[in-house]
Structure 1
Amino acid sequence: MDVRPVDPLAQPDLVLEALCAVDTTTGQEAALLPVLRPLLEALGARVDVAPFAPGRCNVLATWGEPRILFSTHLDTVPPFIPPRREAGALHGRGACDAKGQIVAQLLAAARLRDRGVAWLGVAGEETDSVGAQQALRDWQDRFPSCRAVINGEPTELQVAAGQRGVRNLRLGCRGRAAHGGSPERGHSAVLDLVDWIGGIRALAPGRHPDLGPEVWNLGVIRGGEAVNIVPDRAEALLNIRTVPGSAFAEAVAALGPAGSEVEVQVDEAPCLFPALPGFPMAPVPFGSDAPVLRALAPTGAVALAGPGSITVAHTADEHLTFTDLGAGADLNLRLALHFLQEHP
């Protein structure tokens, strides 16, 4: 009788579908463990799970003494969209951001098991990188021989030349409530906020030769209690993708009306990554955990790359083609061999 070990990644499309069938919206990353842990154990990994809050955890899989660390995130943005197959691709939340990265990285890691490799899945990348920060606290000393961190995000199979920073601001205005029939007796916080945002729209964002233009997004605006009450408070949430030397947030604050306030909720610096000969490189329009996680490698070497496109991530049309999934596995393998100074 010919008994051969079953390859748990023999059908990577099915693995991706199984991962995407689990809702891991930020805050409930541990829901992926019943699918992820058996997969890692079937690949022969030592698996460490580090819970840090109810429903939340990081996952580390190691094969020997790691010389390469693959990493990506377990969480997805809302809303959950169940997976479906269509025209050679898997559609659904997390297909490329970032459960497709998990599969592409594990396909490469499986090829490197006898050379020393690790894979790290972290929580909270889509919000505040809390999982990446926790991973530094828990596992900083686990990778003395690690030559590089390869962080997975949908970069269209190019290596990121760098990433813009992230600065999230909460803008707050206070007014004076009054009856809607006598608005002159009050002061509208909403109108102050609208004027403030109008001024922000006229600002000239910065630009960097490698990272491109600075951009911002008004993600949330809210205020008031009822249609017939002059609103006494209003707030807006801004997401700014910054470049080195940015003064955009300071310019925003300077435009605020009397009594306004600016709270910095997230502040991550922009980061430039080293050039890698032989790999096409391009700037990416998003942030990632790469600047934090690179500290796990004593050398600080990092590469940010993966299959899929950020243009469909966070949308109802998020998807990853199975062709790109295979190409992503190949890219991850070639990057690992580059840092190991070997050739495929």
Structure 2
Amino acid sequence: MSRTVEILERLIAFPTVSKDSNLDLIHFVQDLLQSAGFAVVRIPSPCGQKAGLFARLGPELGGVCLSAHTDVVPIDGQEWPSDPFTLTQHRDRLHGRGVTDMKGFLASALAMAERAARAPLTEPLSLAISYDEEIGCVGIRQMMPTLAPLLGSPRAVIVGEPTSMQVATGHKGKVALKVTCHGEAGHSALAPDFTNALHVASTFIDEVRALQVRLAGGATDLAYSIPYSTVHIGRMSGGRALNIVPDSAELEMEFRHLAQTPASEILSELNEIAQRVGTAFGNPNAAEITQTNAYYGLDTSVDDPVVSWASQMANSKETTKVAFGTEAGFFAAEGIPTVVIGPGDMARDGHKADEGVDLSELAACDAMMDRILTDLSA
């Protein structure tokens, strides 16, 4: 495991917060993979300040693809006992921004990639490495037009998000929305004569809360800690001054939906809410909904052969589903059998100060990589 920790130390030292460039890390990873004999394709972001990679070693048909993202969440407002971008060890845990989410998995995959250079591969090993996952899987969506034909038809994709090394077969899909609420500006002394955009917004919020109650009583999947689809309003803004009736307000919201509850179904209900709110305020356009982002859910059947194979590779008898989103749905949408497996516990460490990962889980990930390498060399 020493090589994995050595690579992880290098990865943590790159402060790849989503708002910043990841190119220095990409240079390092590209050099490592090319030195190991991989054919590497760099996939630049539209802005040119970031990039992803696709790398392949071995024959063309079948094989396994390991997927990881390079960006991490900010450290702003968090109190760390040491430099977040310097890997530190305390007893049986490693600490640093991204060790769990998800540079620990990436380090293990890269260390295995070096070992693969000396293995008699009978099937290909590939790595898909992305950017801007933490802001809503933006990078993988931008990469897919180039990445999809490069992927070929691997028999499995493993997305290395933290699952405590259990095999995760699903997560909810997500749609992010902006709701623009319209009112009429006027003097606050005459407030009843004007439509207050914040009142429009609050009425919309009340309707969304009622929608959540309906969703909680509808379709369920007990594999999730919250077994139903959810709606959430995370931000509200509006108004210019205390003595001016607000003529506009804005809500930022999302919904996370089960596989059996299509995104279109919840979006239709939200549009109906907007129509009702508009009618109540005498303006059909009083609440306008705009989609700002979305990513696929994942719903791999436990009966799919990829699940039994992944369970053998991870030495894990149980499957799970995770509350957070991943890039896995984008690979599944290409028809590739996909699961999520990685070291670390998102609830314990994800996005938190002093983020850590147990050395035992990193060792378990390395052991999984060895089994995969043996499988690809059979």
Q: Tell me the TM-score normalized by structure 2.
A: 0.77
**What's 1:230 paired with?**
245
**What's 2:88 paired with?**
85
Aligned-partner residue type, residue 254 of structure 2: N
Residue 53 of structure 2 aligns to a residue in which SS?
strand
Pick one of 209, 221, 241 that aligns with 1:208: 221
Offset at 1:286? Answer: 1.6
Pick one of 289, 309, 313 that aligns with 2:327: 289
User: Which moves more between the two structures, 213-222 or 229-238?
Assistant: 213-222
Offset at 1:175? Answer: 0.9
Residue 65 of structure 1 aligns to a residue in which SS?
coil
Are 1:310 and 2:353 counterparts?
no
Are 1:22 and 2:26 counterparts?
no
**What's 2:58 paired with?**
64
Alignment check: 8 A CA contact 1:241 1:286 kept = no
**Unaligned regions of 5+ residues in structure 1, if any?**
1-8
Equivalents in 1 of 2:362, 2:163: separation in Å?
Answer: 12
Alignment check: 8 A CA contact 1:136 1:293 kept = no
Equivalents in 2 of 1:191, 1:137: separation in Å?
Answer: 43
| Equivalent runs, 1:1-344 vs 2, <5 Å | 10-27=2-19, 28-53=21-46, 54-65=48-59, 67-79=63-75, 81-87=84-90, 88-113=92-117, 114=119, 115=121, 116-144=124-152, 146-202=154-210, 203-204=212-213, 205=215, 206-211=219-224, 212-243=227-258, 244-246=260-262, 247-256=265-274, 257-258=277-278, 259-275=286-302, 276-277=307-308, 278=311, 279=316, 280-294=318-332, 300-311=336-347, 312-334=349-371, 340=376
* Gap change, CA 1:269 and 1:58, over 3 Å in 2: closer
Aligned-partner residue type, residue 74 of structure 2: P
Q: Tell me the TM-score normalized by structure 1.
A: 0.84
Equivalents in 2 of 1:336, 1:63: separation in Å?
Answer: 12
Aligned-partner residue type, residue 283 of structure 1: K
Offset at 1:341? Answer: 9.6
What fraction of aligned residue pairs are identical, expressed as a percent?
A: 26
Q: Could you give the per-residue CA deviations for residues 164-203 of structure 1, whole angstroms, max 9, x where no partner exists? A: 1111121221111123344234322123212322332233
* Gap change, CA 1:12 and 1:271, over 3 Å in 2: closer
Alignment check: 8 A CA contact 1:105 1:152 kept = no
Residue 193 of structure 1 aligns to a residue in which SS?
helix
Aligned-partner residue type, residue 255 of structure 1: I
User: Which moves more between the two structures, 270-279 or 226-235?
Assistant: 270-279
Q: Could you give the per-residue CA deviations for residues 244-273 of structure 1, whole angstroms, max 9, x where no partner exists? A: 225443333333321111112223343311
Offset at 1:97? Answer: 1.4
**What's 1:4 paired with?**
none
Answer 1 or 2: which has greater helix percent: 2
Answer 1 or 2: which has greater strand percent: 1
Residue 329 of structure 1 aligns to a residue in which SS?
helix
Offset at 1:57? Answer: 1.0
Q: CA RMSD in A?
A: 2.8
Offset at 1:323? Answer: 2.3
Residue 208 of structure 1 aligns to a residue in which SS?
coil
Equivalents in 2 of 1:179, 1:79: separation in Å?
Answer: 42
Aligned-partner residue type, residue 245 of structure 1: T
Offset at 1:209? Answer: 4.2
Offset at 1:236? Answer: 1.3
Aligned-partner residue type, residue 323 of structure 2: P
Equivalents in 1 of 2:15, 2:243: separation in Å?
Answer: 40
Equivalents in 1 of 2:253, 2:370: separation in Å?
Answer: 38
